[in-house]
Amino acid sequence: MDAGRQLAAGLREFAATPGVVLGLPRGGVPVAFALAQELRLPLDVFLVRKLGVPGQEELAMGAVAAGNVRVINAEVVRALGILPEQIARVADLEQQELERRAAAFRQGHPQLPVAGRTAIVVDDGLATGSTMRAAVQALRMAEPARILVAVPVGAADTCDRLRSEAVQVVCLHTPHNFFAVGQWYLNFQQTTDEEVKELLRRSRESLPNRGTAELLPS
């Protein structure tokens, strides 16, 4: 969670403003929780699933997000000769997992509305950026006033690509020789479903006066 606190130091202008912090499950949620606590903003998850290359699942060939949004990394698909039916098969499976997580994480609580608000989208880092790009595309459909992508570490070219798509990006570190997000963390243990649910619960309880009702559009 230290990464989230470090991010918050550069985002003080958003403290207690009409905004929502959205963590990308699972790894982005602990970072988002710490950021939301520091800025006194409500926390929610924004559900996105990476589309892993068959046989090389850690390599992203794209992503799916809420709202039936699908983003494909054309360079990876072309370089590896991935067939459309392979993409469709993986996308169908990940869409099912996305829906399962939506039910598991929120446990009956409604998604926080973002229309007219600042949406701060948080992940633990940016590698290819496919997951974040899918999140941004899906989020635009909800008509937030502004989308801000906030990550502790990322590949410089990925951050630049997001900025070229008219997205504000705050990335604390863009190291040379960037290979994977995990190499820049002292502790990069996998976040569990239970930890995500617990952090969402703690956020709701710590900000009782900045919940869903306050965020409903006027």
C-beta neighbour count of 218 within 10 angstroms: 3
CATH number at residue 30: 3.40.50.2020
Determine, yes or no, domain membership for 44.
yes
CA dist., res. 58 & res. 117, Å (int): 33
pLDDT band at 212 (very low <50, low <70, confident <90, very high): very low
What's the pLDDT band for 94 if we cut at 50, 70, 90? very high
* pTM: predicted TM-score of the whole model, two decimal places: 0.81
The SS3 assignment for 50 reads: strand
Per-residue pLDDT reduced to its tens digit, 110-150? 889 899 999 999 998 888 888 888 889 888 888 999 999 99
Asked if 159 contacts 126 with a C-beta cutoff of 8 angstroms, the reply is yes
Signed CA dihedral, 102, 108, 113, 119: sign only? negative
Is 149 part of a structural domain of the chain?
yes
Percent of the chain whose predicted confidence (pLDDT) is above 70? 90
Asked if residue 215 is part of any domain, the answer here is: no
Q: What is the pLDDT of residue 183?
A: 65
pLDDT band, residue 211 (cuts 50/70/90): very low
Strands 19-23 and 118-122: parallel
Domain count across the chain: 1
Give me the chain's average pLDDT, please: 85
- Domain that includes residue 121, residue range: 2-202
Determine, yes or no, domain membership for 218.
no
Q: Which two tokens stand for residue 200?
A: 């969402």
Helix (H) or strand (E) holding 199: helix 193-206
Residue environment code for 193-207, b if the CB has 16+ CB neighbours within 10 A, otherwise e: eebbbebbeebbeeb
For residue 14, the 8-state DSSP code is G
Query: Is residue 207 assigned to a domain?
Result: no
**52 within a domain of the structure (yes/no):** yes
Q: Is residue 210 part of a domain?
A: no
pLDDT at 198 over 70: yes
Q: How far apart are CA 133 and CA 128, in angstroms?
A: 9
Q: What are phi and psi of 195, to 5 degrees?
A: -65, -40
Q: Is residue 157 part of a domain?
A: yes
pLDDT mean over 22-44 = 93
Highest mean pLDDT among 144-148, 152-156, 186-190: 144-148
